[in-house]
Amino acid sequence: MKRKGGSDTESLTEKLLEELNCDTVFTIPVFGGIGVAESVVVTWIIMAVLVGLSIIFVRNLKVENPGKKQLVLESTIGWAKDFFEGIIGKENKRYIPYLITIILYLGVSNIISLFGFKPPTKDLNVTAALAIMSMFLIEYSGIHKNGVKHWVKHFAEPVPVVAPIMVLEIVIRPLSLCMRLFGNVLGAFVIMELLKAIIPVLVPIPFSFYFDIFDGLLQAYVFVFLTALFMNEEQE
C-alpha cells in the first residue's frame, strides 16, 4: 500500500484529540456560567438507569414464594455482601452499600462506551472525585474504629522517623487510585479509537471484548478492592 503522506496522520491526530477532549455540553447561566461537562451528563444517564433498575427490581418483593427475579437479586446482592465481608470483615458491614454502589457505577461507566457514550471515567475530574471520596472514607473508617488519638498516633508507628511518609500516604493512596483508573480507561479508549480509525471492520471486536469489557470491569473491581483493602489497613 502506498503511504499517503502527512495529511492522513494529521487528521488521525485531530480526531484523537477531539475524542480525548471532554466537551462542555451546556452552560448553567448562574454565577457567570457553570459549564456542564459531557462526563456529568453521562453520569446522570447512568444514575437514571441504575436508580430506575433499582426501583423496578425492588417492587413486589415477597417473603413467601419469591419470584425468579427476587431470587436472582437476592443471590447477587448476597454474593456481593459476602465478597466484601471477606475483605473488610463483619464488623464493617456499614461500608458495604457504599462499596457496592461504587462498583456498580464504575462497572457501568467503564463499559458504557459499548453503547456509544464516552465513558465518564475517561475524565480525570471524575476519577479524582471518586478517589477523594475514597480518601475520606479510608481516614474516617480508621478514626471511627480506633478514635482520633490512635489515628494521630499511628503516623509515628513503628518508628517516628517514618511519620512524613505516613502523612504523605494519605494523599498518595487516592492519587494512585485515581491515576490508575483514569490511565487504564483512557489507554483502552485511545487504543480502541486508533483501531477503529485504522481498521473499522471486524478486527476491533475481539479487542473490544478485552479493552471495553474485561479491562473496564477489572478496573472497577480493583478500585473498590483497593479502597476496601486500604480501609482494612487503616483500621489496624
Partner 1 sequence: MGTIIAIGAGIAVLTGVGAGIGIGIATGKATDAIARQPEAEGKISKTLILGCALAEATAIYGFIIGLLIILLLK
Q: Which residues bind partner 1 (CB under 8 A)?
A: 17, 20, 176, 179-180, 182-184, 186-187, 190, 218-219, 221-222, 225-226, 229
d(CA 89, CA 46): 30
Question: Of the two residues 40 and 226, which places its CB atom closer to partner 1 in the complex?
Answer: 226
Count of alpha carbons within 13 angstroms of residue 95, beta-carbon side: 31
- Comparing CB distances to partner 1, the nearer of 109 and 219 is 219
CA distance 86 to 167: 28
Residues 179 and 126: beta-carbon distance below 8 Å: no
- Shortest separation between residue 17's beta carbon and partner 1, angstroms: 7
CB closer to partner 1 out of 46 and 178: 178
Q: How far is the CB of 186 from partner 1 (least distance, A)?
A: 7
Task: Considering the complex, state which of residue 144 and residue 180 has its C-beta at the smaller distance from partner 1.
Answer: 180
CB of 229 to partner 1, least distance (A): 8
d(CA 94, CA 131): 19
Which cell is 228 given?
476496601
- The grid coordinates of residue 176 equal 494512585
**Least distance CB 47 / partner 1 (angstroms):** 26
Cα 18 from chain centre: 23
Minimum CB distance to partner 1, residue 4 (Å): 19
Question: CA–CA separation, 60 vs 89, rounded Å?
Answer: 32
Residues with Cβ within 8 Å of 15's Cβ and at least 6 positions away in sequence, in order, are 193, 197
Nearer to partner 1, 50 or 186 (CB): 186
